[in-house]
Structure 1
Amino acid sequence: MMTIFFSPPLLETLLTMISELDYDCALNFNGSCYIPSEELINSTQSLGLDSAQKICQENDGNLISIHSANENRFVLNYYKSLGLDSVLLGAVVTKHFFWMDDSHWDFSNIDHTNDEYGTCLKMALQNNKTVSKGSWYITPCDGSHYFMCKRPAGNSDLIHVPKVVKAPPSQCNKVLLMSGTFSSPTYPENCMYTLKTLDGQQIRITFQKFYVANGYIQIVEDYQGAEVKQKFSGTNKNLRYKSLTNELKVLFITEDLENMNSEFVAKFFSVFETE
Structure 2
Amino acid sequence: MCKILVLLLFSFCFFIVTNAIVCRDGFTLINNNKCIAFLPPYFDPGYSNSEYRCNWLGGNVVSIRTAIDNTAIAKLAINKGYLDKIWIGLKCWEDNNPDNCIWADQQGNASSYNNFQPGNPQTNNGSCVYMIPATGKWVSGDCDNVRFTVACETDIIGACTHKFGDYCYHPIVGGTNHDEALNICEQLCGGSLVSIHSPEENEYIRGYFIDPKITRIYIGAKMSNAATNYWSDDTDWDFVNFNHSNINDGLCYTMSTNDGKWNSINCGRSLPSICKWKASSSCQATCTGPKYREETGLITLLTSELSYNQYRGIPPCYYVLHVPNGLAAIWFNSLQLDPNSSIELYSGTSENSTLLANITQENQNDYYKSLTSSSQFIKLVSNQCNDNCDVTNDYSWSALFGPNYGASCGEVLYTRGVITSQNYPNNYPNNYNCTYYIQNPGGYFITIYFDHFETEENHDFVNVYDQKSGTLQYSFSGNCTQYLFGSEKSMRIEFTTDGRNTFSGWSAHIDLV
Normalised by the length of structure 1, the TM-score is 0.50
Which letter maps to 2:147? S
Query: Cα offset for 1:104?
Result: 2.0
Are 2:318 and 1:208 aligned? Answer: no
Q: Deviations over 1:178-200 (max 9, x none)?
A: 9xxx99xx86244589xxxxxxx
Consecutive unaligned residues in structure 1, runs of 5 or more: 1-16, 39-43, 127-132, 157-165, 194-203, 212-234, 244-269
Distance 1:112 1:169, change over 3 A: same
% of aligned pairs identical?
Answer: 16
Q: Pick from 131, 136, 141: which aligns with 1:123?
A: 131
Q: Pick from 103, 106, 113: which aligns with 1:107?
A: 113
Measure, in 2, the Cα distance between the counterparts of 1:91 and 1:83.
Answer: 19
Q: Which residue of 2 aligns with 1:37?
A: 39
Q: Which residue of 2 aligns with 1:94?
A: 93
Measure, in 2, the Cα distance between the counterparts of 1:167 and 1:26.
Answer: 23
Measure, in 2, the Cα distance between the counterparts of 1:170 and 1:54.
Answer: 16
Contact 1:206 1:239 in 2 (8 A): yes
Q: Deviations over 1:187-232 (max 9, x none)?
A: 6244589xxxxxxxxxx95542799xxxxxxxxxxxxxxxxxxxxx
Measure, in 1, the Cα distance between the counterparts of 2:151 and 2:47.
Answer: 11
Q: Deviations over 1:119-150 (max 9, x none)?
A: 10011123xxxxxx111011111221111110
Measure, in 2, the Cα distance between the counterparts of 1:150 and 1:84.
Answer: 18
Which letter maps to 2:136? G
Structure showing greater Rg: 2
Three-state SS of the structure 2 residue aligned to 1:138 is: strand
Three-state SS of the structure 1 residue aligned to 2:149 is: coil
Measure, in 2, the Cα distance between the counterparts of 1:108 and 1:73.
Answer: 12
Q: Which residue of 2 aligns with 1:188?
A: 267
Are 2:158 and 1:144 aligned? Answer: no
Query: Cα offset for 1:70?
Result: 0.6
Contact 2:54 2:153 in 1 (8 A): yes
How many residues are aligned here? 177
Contact 2:106 2:210 in 1 (8 A): no
Three-state SS of the structure 2 residue aligned to 1:104 is: coil
Which letter maps to 1:84? L
Q: Which residue of 2 aligns with 1:200?
A: none
Three-state SS of the structure 1 residue aligned to 2:172 is: coil
Distance 1:167 1:107, change over 3 A: closer
Cα root mean square deviation, aligned? 4.5
Which letter maps to 2:133? L
Q: Pick from 77, 80, 98: which aligns with 1:79?
A: 77
Query: Cα offset for 1:33?
Result: 0.8
Distance 1:73 1:206, change over 3 A: farther
Are 2:61 and 1:63 aligned? Answer: yes
Query: Cα offset for 1:19?
Result: 2.6
Consecutive unaligned residues in structure 2, runs of 5 or more: 1-17, 95-99, 160-169, 177-208, 219-251, 253-265, 273-323, 330-346, 349-373, 376-402, 407-412, 416-440, 445-488, 491-513
Q: After the TM superposition, which segments of 4 or more aligned residues of structure 1 sit over 3 Å from their partners?
A: 44-47, 169-172, 174-178, 189-193, 204-207, 239-243, 270-275
Measure, in 1, the Cα distance between the counterparts of 2:115 and 2:210.
Answer: 26
Normalised by the length of structure 2, the TM-score is 0.29
Query: Cα offset for 1:91?
Result: 1.3
Are 2:22 and 1:21 aligned? Answer: yes
Distance 1:108 1:207, change over 3 A: farther
